[in-house]
Amino acid sequence: MKQGPLPKCFDARKACVKELELSGVVKASALSRLASVVSCEDTTISASLRFLRDEQRRFVVSVDVAGDVGVRCERCLDIMPLAVEAHSTLMLCSSDEQAQQCPNQYEPLVYTGDELDLYEVIEEELLLGLPVAPMHEAMCIDALPELEATPIVEDRKPNPFAVLANLTNDSNES
């Protein structure tokens, strides 16, 4: 199903009262914090948000996000594709005090104005959904010995390690 773009700002409390559901896409390039940690040119993130009030009359937003990004493998340092998915149930809090009393099943989100920045919410979810140390499932590092076997031809610049060795010697002598 082709989805339209999500609005950036949205009156989330009103949406909770009306129990609205919203789904759509966001260009990953519009999410600057995400774009600074993953490679995501031309990536679209799809998100769906469900606004409701629970039995305690709390304002609750259920958020699902998904998108395909590129991350650097911690082992071989190549960029690898990664499907990121995240889900959270947020409770809209009007103050820090209310956030501190937020029950465990919700993530508190302090927001005082009328309009909630949905892009920020989506970006935060995606960042939390990223693995701390992404790696290829296969032992990608096996490719490395091949690299080492290739001799590096020609290098007229002084070897930086030689310079380092000289420095070490100097400091030893003085």
> Which positions touch Zn ion (CB under 5 A)?
73, 75-76, 136, 140
Least distance to Zn ion from the beta carbon of 38, Å? 15
Closest contact distance (angstroms) between CB of 131 and Zn ion is 13
Q: Which residues touch 8 (CB under 8 Å, ≥6 apart)? A: 117, 118, 119
Contact 100, 83 (CB under 8 A): no
Token pair of 89 as six digits: 């149930």
Which one, 52 or 76, has the nearer CB to Zn ion? Answer: 76
Considering the complex, what minimum distance in angstroms separates the CB of residue 75 from Zn ion? 5
Least distance (Å) between residue 83 CB and Zn ion? 16
Q: Which is nearer to Zn ion, 9 or 79 (CB)?
A: 79
Cα distance between residue 174 and residue 169, in whole Å: 9
Pick 87 or 136: Cβ nearer Zn ion: 136
Task: Give the separation between CA 147 and CA 140, rounded to whole angstroms.
Answer: 13
Neighbouring C-beta atoms of residue 90, cutoff 10 Å: 23
- Write down the least CB distance from residue 137 to Zn ion, Å: 9
If one counts every other C-beta atom within 10 angstroms of the C-beta of residue 72, the result is 16
Cβ-proximal residues to 11 (8 Å cutoff; 6+ apart), any chain: 114, 115, 116
- Using the minimum distance from each CB to Zn ion, give the nearer residue, 14 or 136: 136
Q: Is 125 exposed, middle or buried (0-12, 13-18, 19+ CB in 10 A)?
A: buried
